Every structure is written in structure tokens, then in C-alpha cells.
Amino acid sequence: MQDHPDAAQDSQSPVLATRVGRVGLLTLNRPRQLNALNDALMDRLGADLLALDADDAVGAIVLTGGPKVFAAGADIAAMAEWTYIDVYRSDFITRNWETLRRVRKPVLAAVAGYALGGGCELALACDIVVAAQSARFAVPEIKLAMMPGAGGTQRLPRAIGKAKAMDMCLSGRMLTADEADRYGLVSRVVPDDMLLDETLALATAIAGFSGPALMAIKESVNRAYESSLAEGLLFERRELHARFASKDAHEGMDAFLGKRRPVVVHR
């Protein structure tokens, strides 16, 4: 493993950044607070994500937590004293939680243990969620007389449908990994001791594909969330047409016809 040059690597850093081949690995690191997501952590995470997104040597990013907890949500101790005007003026959530939406490379979440509240929403905002058998997903904000505020009420219905999303949001119900898999909240479930290896292997395979093609696919799939079918299909068609301007696509097709491995140059 290689240290990512831009990341603070001391054990006090709320996010640890390393590189494994062409994969950037970010580990949430507030174990005593169960990786509760405070401003310092979200600022660091945003900075690390943007650095990896800009790094040509990185093709995909894995975001993980600890073996018992991915993240127990927004930091309740930090939020307890805030008033309406505090969160409105500081643009809470939007200011530093939405950096993830700007990342164009594939981001995979590797989730073991609790992914609660903002932790569940963080996983949901990733492109692929690999869950360990121990993973537990919930948006329990209602128990605090709060509500999901980092996309839970919007991404959950899109991911698992209104009926399941309402159940989770209104009752705080916790899903096991297998339930989350059945409902379509996660991409795959693996044994706990395989979580990181499996996720890194998947990320490495993805990172070996053409970067611009990956970006176009990610942008197109995300478009499905935000447009009508007709608009989305038009967007997809234009992205496909643009592939014909890429070296990698011509090389990929030539290599297939020549029965050889393609040489990907990410252009």
C-alpha cells in the first residue's frame, strides 16, 4: 500500500488515505465516536475525495469504516447545541457533505457493522455498496425527533421504493445486510473477513477500465435519477456517440476483433 501524498496520515486524522494500485482507499477513523460524522471528518473526506478524483494514477475509490461500524451518523454531540440560524448560515450538510456528488470516478462503499443516519446516507451516495454480513442499515433520526437530511428521504425511495423507504424513515427500522441486499439498497453481500479484499478486487477491476468510459457510464446512470426516461435516453445516446471519439473505445473494439488484450490509455 502506498500513502496518498495529499492525506494527513497521522492516526489522529479522521480519515486515513492510502493507495492500493489504481484504487484510492479512504478509511473513516473516529473509532471512539463510532465514526460519527463531524465537520472535521467531512472536510477531510471531501478534500481526500477531490484529491483522488484529480489523480490520474487513481481509477476508482473505496470508502470504508471499521470492522464494527461504518459510521453511526452525524455527530449528535456536535449538533446538540446548534440552532436553526447556525445550520442555515453554515449551510450544514450542503457545505461539505455533498462533495461526494462532485466525484466523477466510481466510488465504492465497503460497509461492515452499523451504517446509521448520515452513515447510511453516505453509503447510499456511493456508486456501489458492498456489505459485509454484519452490516446494519437504518435512518433512526426520528428517534431524536430529527429527520434524515443528507439524502435519506430522497435516495432511499429511489433505491428501494416508497413502501420500504417510508418504513425505514418513519420507524427507524434497521435492516440486516441480507434484507438490504433483497431490497436493492446494496450491490452485494460478502463475509466480513472478505469485505475489504472483495471490494478492493472489484474496485481494481473497475479501475482497469477506460476512465472516460467509466465517467460517462456513472454520469448516465445518475441521470436516471434526475430526468424523465426520454431525457435520460437522449443523454445516454449522446454519451454513447461521444464514445466514438475516444481512443480507448476504438482500441477496445480492435483488440476484441484481433483476439488480444486492449491497451487502455484513458483517453
What burial class does residue 100 get, using C-beta atoms within 10 Å of its C-beta: 0-12 exposed, 13-18 middle, 19+ buried?
buried
Q: Judge whether 176 and 131 are in contact, CB under 8 Å.
A: no
Catalytic residue among 46, 73, 110, 141: 141
Q: Which of 1, 77, 229, 257 binds ligand DAK (CB under 6 A)?
A: 77
65 binds ligand DAK (CB under 6 A): no
Q: Which residue is nearest to ligand DAK (CB)?
A: 149
Active site residue 219: no
Nearest to 124 by CA among 93, 145, 150, 143: 150
Taking the CA atoms of residue 34, residue 35, residue 40 and residue 44 in that order, the dihedral angle to the nearest 10 degrees is 160
Catalytic residue among 60, 72, 74, 177: 74
Active site residue 121: yes
> Shortest Cβ distance from residue 154 to ligand DAK (Å)?
12
* x-or-dash string of contact with ligand DAK, 198-237, rule CB under 6 A: ----------------------------------------
Catalytic residue among 118, 149, 211, 252: 118
Q: How many residues interact with ligand DAK (rule CB under 6 A)?
A: 22
- Closest CB to ligand DAK among 23 and 168? 168
150 binds ligand DAK (CB under 6 A): yes
Q: Provide φ and ψ at 102, rounded to 5°.
A: -85, -10
248 binds ligand DAK (CB under 6 A): no
- Closest CB to ligand DAK among 92 and 266? 92
Q: Judge whether 238 and 250 are in contact, CB under 8 Å.
A: no
> Shortest Cβ distance from residue 161 to ligand DAK (Å)?
22
Residue type at position 229: L
From the centroid of its chain, how far is CA 34? 18
Q: Judge whether 37 and 75 are in contact, CB under 8 Å.
A: yes
**DSSP code string of 22-45:** TEEEEEE--GGGTT-B-HHHHHHH
CB atoms within 10 A of CB 253: 12
Contact set with ligand DAK (CB under 6 A):
33-34, 36, 72-77, 87, 92-93, 114, 116-118, 140-141, 144, 146, 149-150
Q: Which residues are catalytic?
A: 74, 118, 121, 141
